[in-house]
Structures are given as C-alpha cells and as structure tokens.
Amino acid sequence: MKSIDQLDINGKKVLIRVDFNVPTDDQGNITDDTRIRAHLETIRYATDKGGKVVLISHLGRPKGKRNEKYTLRPVAKRLSELLGKTIPFSDDCVGEPAEKAVAALKAGDVVLLENLRFHAEEEKNDPGFAEQLAALGDVYIDDAFAAAHRGHASNAGITAFIKECAVGILLKNELDYLRKATVNPERPLVAIIGGAKVSDKIGVLKNLVEKVDAMLIGGGMAFTFIKAQGYEVGKSLCEVDMLDTAREIMEKAKQKGVKLLLPVDCIIAERAEIDALAKEASVQAIPSDWAALDIGPKSSALFAEALAGAKTIVWNGPMGLFELEPFSKGTTALARAVADSPATSIIGGGDTDTAVHQAGVSDRISYISTGGGAFLELLEGRSMPAIEALESCGGAQ
C-alpha cells in the first residue's frame, strides 16, 4: 500500500475517510474530541501540499436514515476551531449538495460532508453509492483505522472506482505499531487482556497464546479461568459455558511455554456500587455471596513484576470495574507499571484508553490506538476489509 506522502496531491481533490465518530451529549455537544485530533496531522499534510480536502465519516448508528441527533455539523464547528479556519459543511455526502461543496474548493481548502450512515447503502457496501462517493475525489485516502474492520462503501467498495488510493498518517501509524507487536515483535512480548467476558475475546486469546512470551489475564474474564481451575468464585462474573475454552487456552500456554498469569487476590464486594464495602480476598477464598470486582495488590505486584523485562507490551481491557473508585486501583496500578516500563507499549480499546488517561500516564504510553473492534480483530489475526480494499485499489478501472 502507498501512503499519502507518496502521492502527488497538489491541486487534486483528496477524499479522506476519517473516523469522527465522537461521543456527544444530549444537546449534541462533543464530549471528547480525541478522534478528531487524531486526524489533524493527515488533514494538515493534505492542505499543506495543496490538496482540496473532502472529509467523509460516520457518526453513531442512524440506521440508514437522516437523524439530526447524528449530524456531523458539530464536528465541523470543532474542526474549524482546531484548524483555525472555517470548515464548510455539506448537508449530504452525495448528490448535488456534496458536488457543489466540493466544486467550490480551492487548493488548501477543507470541507466536511454529512454522515455517511444517513444512507443505508453505506453499511450495505452498495457499489452505486461507493461510485458516487468516489466521484468526489481524484485520490482516496483511508485514515480511519477504527472502521477498518468494517467492509462498507466508504472504505471498501470505494477503492474499485478510484485510481489512486493510499493510507493516511494515522492509519499508517496504527498498522505499523500493531504489526510491530504481532508480526515481528521485539521480545519478550507480553499481552495484557482484561475486560468482562472470555466470549468477547476468544479469538484474541487463542491467537496471542501462539505468539506471546507471557499473557496476563485480569478483569471479569479472569474468574472464568479461575473457576476452570476448580475454585469457587462466588457471585463474580463467570461464563460457565467458557470453562472448557479457558482450560484449552491454559493448556496451550503450557505446551508453548507461555507464562500465563491470573490474579492471586482480588477486591470483593457484595454489590457493584461506589459506596459498597470492599475488601481484599484471595481468589481461592471468595465468599459465595460476594463478587470480585478488581484485582488485588498482590496481583498488581505480580503483574508489574511480569512486565519488568518486557520489550513489547500489548494491552486491551481493564483489570476491574475501574469506573467506580473502590475497584479502580488494580487498573491504575497496571497502567503505571506499563508506563514505567521501557518496553514499547501499545494500548487499544476505549476502556483501556480511558483508564490510562485516568491514571495520568497516557503521555508515557508508546502508542494508544484509536480503534476498539479493529484493534481486537488485528490482535485476532483477522483480515481487515478496508486494508484489503486498499491493496487492490482501482480494480474496476
């Protein structure tokens, strides 16, 4: 695949697929502009090189119909503030409004088009819709890693109708870092997998256990593994139908010589509420009417020790119910241990991203991915429709 810096874009219409799927409040105000900021380098590069920049994105799930709750208009306003110039907004992403907005562009200008998902054809990867989008650009740049695991018209179908395609700076960085961790990592490679359910991350666990030197498992999913070892876990989250899967992964780790670490102690409570009485307990001694909601201090120390000699760390998923203060200490301690490590550290997933910011260590993480589902699918070793499409760009010409 080519990258944007390998194309001559001076005076050309540069159609960039971004991911401006940002959280908003009930009044439509943007509550976190991280994803907008993540694309600024690509946008500025394109304008500095004389491109006429056309930005396309989705926001939320309007289910193929126009819904003002999901308009990108507030994004255009915020983007204007970040770029220091007015960014015009088109009320549609295809048809006359979009065509007029694009025709008005001069070299170095930027326009943002309305939500792609106001058209059902987007998620259906409709060829006609993809062709309409492609007609708005001379070159196509995909910079939306967070949507790369979706095969939609704007990031998969579109490449068949445009001759020149490339990855943007953000997408290139995402792929470079994640491939560095999964294709030819500097070892030892340690994976930290947390979150609620084993069933959500079976593919990740099965793929990584074949590749890593050590795997640390925390969060709610750890108690499925602990139950699979024969211990009672009280009211802790546990997927009984995943016990055999957990045993299979532990056996595979043993066969491959992978150090698989589970919590040895935990923070338990009778209920998952901020004012609940919380106390430490061994994972082998959880009362039947209590639930484990975080890893304990001994587990935090054990996990930090396992990271000490790591050269590459990949982390997805918190160690507990970190949103509530009594159950946040395990995730915070781990975030600090990862930040203190000299290893290349790569973090993905919204909760994990939030956790490292909450711990105040985000500036000491090597790379924080903008992708949740896409990050997981890459860790699973699965192909990415948008990446495959870029590799075969112009196939219908």
For residues 129 and 202, membership in a common domain is answered with: no
Q: Is residue 21 one of the residues assigned to a domain?
A: yes
Active site residue 197: yes
Active site residue 235: no
Q: Which of 77, 78, 124, 197 is catalytic?
A: 197
Residue 318 pLDDT exceeds 70: yes
Active site residue 106: no
CA angle 300, 306, 309 (to 5 degrees): 135
DSSP 91-135: S-SSHHHHHHHHHT--TT-EEEE--GGGSHHHHTT-HHHHHHHHT
pTM for this predicted structure: 0.87
For residues 121 and 205, membership in a common domain is answered with: no
DSSP 319-341: SS-TTSGGG-HHHHHHHHHHHHS
Residue 396 pLDDT exceeds 60: no
Q: Which domain holds residue 193?
A: 185-380
Q: Which of 350, 372, 381, 382 is catalytic?
A: 350
Q: Is residue 166 one of the residues assigned to a domain?
A: yes
Active site residue 350: yes
For residues 165 and 20, membership in a common domain is answered with: yes
For residues 141 and 207, membership in a common domain is answered with: no
Give the C-alpha separation, 111 to 195, whole Å: 38
For residues 221 and 332, membership in a common domain is answered with: yes
Last residue of a domain, one of 171, 203, 238: 171
Residue 33 pLDDT exceeds 70: yes
Residues 6+ apart with CB under 8 A from 352: 194, 315, 316, 317, 318
Last residue of a domain, one of 119, 136, 171: 171
For residues 67 and 33, membership in a common domain is answered with: yes
Residue 24 pLDDT exceeds 70: yes
282 pairs with which residues across the strands?
265
**Two tokens, residue 150:** 């979706």
- Predicted confidence band of residue 339 (pLDDT cuts 50, 70, 90): very high
Q: Is residue 337 one of the residues assigned to a domain?
A: yes
Average model confidence (pLDDT) for the chain? 94
Number of domains composing the chain: 2
What's the distance, CA 132 to chain centroid?
28
Mean pLDDT (whole number) for 273-298:
95
Q: Which of 35, 150, 211, 329 is catalytic?
A: 35
pLDDT over 90, % of the chain: 86
pLDDT over 70, % of the chain: 99
What pLDDT is recorded for position 379? 83
Residue 15 pLDDT exceeds 90: yes
Q: Is residue 371 one of the residues assigned to a domain?
A: yes
What pLDDT is recorded for position 329? 96
For residues 76 and 196, membership in a common domain is answered with: no
For residues 127 and 256, membership in a common domain is answered with: no
Q: Which of 60, 151, 373, 381 is catalytic?
A: 373
For residues 161 and 192, membership in a common domain is answered with: no
Last residue of a domain, one of 137, 171, 205: 171
DSSP 188-224: SEEEEE-SS-STTSHHHHHHHTTT-SEEEE-STTHHH
pLDDT digits (tens, 9 = 90+) for 155-166: 999 999 999 999
Q: Is residue 178 one of the residues assigned to a domain?
A: no
For residues 151 and 293, membership in a common domain is answered with: no
- Predicted confidence band of residue 67 (pLDDT cuts 50, 70, 90): very high
Residue 71 pLDDT exceeds 50: yes
pLDDT digits (tens, 9 = 90+) for 299-315: 999 999 999 999 999 99
For residues 218 and 302, membership in a common domain is answered with: yes
What pLDDT is recorded for position 394? 62
Q: Is residue 391 one of the residues assigned to a domain?
A: no
18: domain CATH number is 3.40.50.1260
For residues 338 and 276, membership in a common domain is answered with: yes
Q: Are 367 and 173 within 8 A, CB to CB? A: yes
Q: Is residue 243 one of the residues assigned to a domain?
A: yes
Which of these, 240, 284, 19, 298, lies nearest to 141 by C-alpha position?
Answer: 19
Residue 370, amino acid: T
What pLDDT is recorded for position 395? 45
**Two tokens, residue 324:** 């509530």
Q: Is residue 395 one of the residues assigned to a domain?
A: no
